[in-house]
C-alpha cells in the first residue's frame, strides 16, 4: 500500500480500484467553502453537488473538443501506456469522475492524464502559463464488489442527477454512452 499527503491523505492499496475526481482550476471559489472543516465523505458530497450546480466559473469541459481530449487522454493511458484499466468515467462541465485500476503508481497515472489533457485544452483555449486542473484530486479506494457497482452507477448517473439527460446512456461524455442508431 502506498500513501502520500498533499492537502488530503491518499491511500492506495496495491491491486485496488480507485474512484478519483478532479476539477478545473478555480471551479470552486474559496468563498463557497464551508466555514468549518467537515469529514472527507461529507466534503466530497458537498463539493460534487456544488460542481454539478455550477453555472459560473470555468466550464471548459462543455466544449466538445476539450471533453474529447480528456476522454482521449484517459483512453491513451489505459490502452497505449497500460497505466490503468478504465472501468467507468464521466466528463462533466467542470470536473471528471473516474473508476480505474492503476497498473502504475496512481500519482504517475493521474499526472499523465491531467498533464496531457491540460496541454491539449490550454492549446485549444489559446491559454499559456495558466493552470487548467486543480493540483489535488479526490480519491477513494474501492473495498469490495458491491462498492464497485455503487461507484459505477454513481459515476454514470452523474449527468442524470445534474439534469443534463434523462438516462445515463444519453450522455456522450460517459462510459455509459450508447450512440443512437443511425436513421
**Residue 157 pLDDT:** 97
Contact 119, 37 (CB under 8 A): no
**Residue 155 pLDDT:** 97
- Say whether 84 sits in a helix, a strand or coil: strand
Can you spell out the DSSP letters for 42-84? HHHHHHHHHHHH--SS--GGGSHHHHHHHHHHHHIIIIIS--E
**Residue 85 pLDDT:** 98
The helix (H) or strand (E) run that includes residue 108 is helix 106-125
Q: Under the phi-then-psi rule, with left for phi > 0, alpha for psi from -120 to 50, and beta for the rest, what region is 129? A: left
**Residue 139 pLDDT:** 86
pLDDT 10s digits, 71-129: 999 999 999 999 999 999 999 999 999 999 999 999 899 999 999 999 999 999 999 98
pLDDT 10s digits, 13-50: 678 899 999 999 988 766 665 555 556 566 667 677 77
Residues facing 96 on adjacent strands: 22, 91
Return the domain boundaries, the chain.
2-170
> Hey, what's the cell of 170?
444519453
Residue 171 C-beta-side C-alpha neighbours within 13 Å: 25
Q: Phi/psi of residue 102, each to 5°?
A: -65, 135
| pTM (two decimals) | 0.86
Lowest mean pLDDT among 105-119, 132-146, 159-173: 132-146
Domain topology for 2-170: Alpha-Beta Plaits (3.30.70)
Confidence of residue 140 (pLDDT cuts 50, 70, 90): confident
- Distance, in Å, from the CA atom of 170 to the CA atom of 179, rounded to the nearest integer, reads 7
Contact 101, 85 (CB under 8 A): yes
Amino acid at each position: 500500500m502506498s500513501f502520500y499527503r498533499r492537502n488530503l491523505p491518499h491511500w492506495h492499496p496495491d491491486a485496488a480500484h480507485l474512484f478519483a475526481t478532479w476539477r478545473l482550476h478555480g471551479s470552486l471559489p474559496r468563498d463557497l467553502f464551508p466555514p468549518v472543516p467537515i469529514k472527507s465523505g461529507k466534503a466530497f458530497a458537498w463539493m460534487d453537488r456544488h460542481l454539478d450546480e455550477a453555472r459560473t466559473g470555468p466550464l471548459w469541459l462543455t466544449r466538445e473538443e476539450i471533453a474529447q481530449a480528456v476522454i482521449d487522454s484517459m483512453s491513451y493511458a489505459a490502452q497505449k501506456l497500460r497505466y490503468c484499466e478504465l472501468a467507468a468515467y464521466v466528463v462533466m462541465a467542470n470536473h471528471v469522475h473516474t473508476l480505474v485500476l492503476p497498473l502504475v503508481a496512481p500519482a504517475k497515472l493521474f499526472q499523465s492524464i491531467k498533464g496531457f489533457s491540460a496541454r491539449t485544452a490550454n492549446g485549444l483555449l489559446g491559454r499559456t502559463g495558466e493552470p487548467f486542473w486543480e493540483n489535488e484530486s479526490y480519491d477513494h479506494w474501492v473495498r469490495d464488489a458491491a462498492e464497485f457497482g455503487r461507484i459505477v452507477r454513481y459515476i454514470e448517473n452523474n449527468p442524470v442527477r445534474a439534469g443534463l439527460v434523462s438516462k445515463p446512456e444519453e450522455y456522450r461524455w460517459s462510459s455509459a454512452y450508447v450512440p443512437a442508431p443511425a436513421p
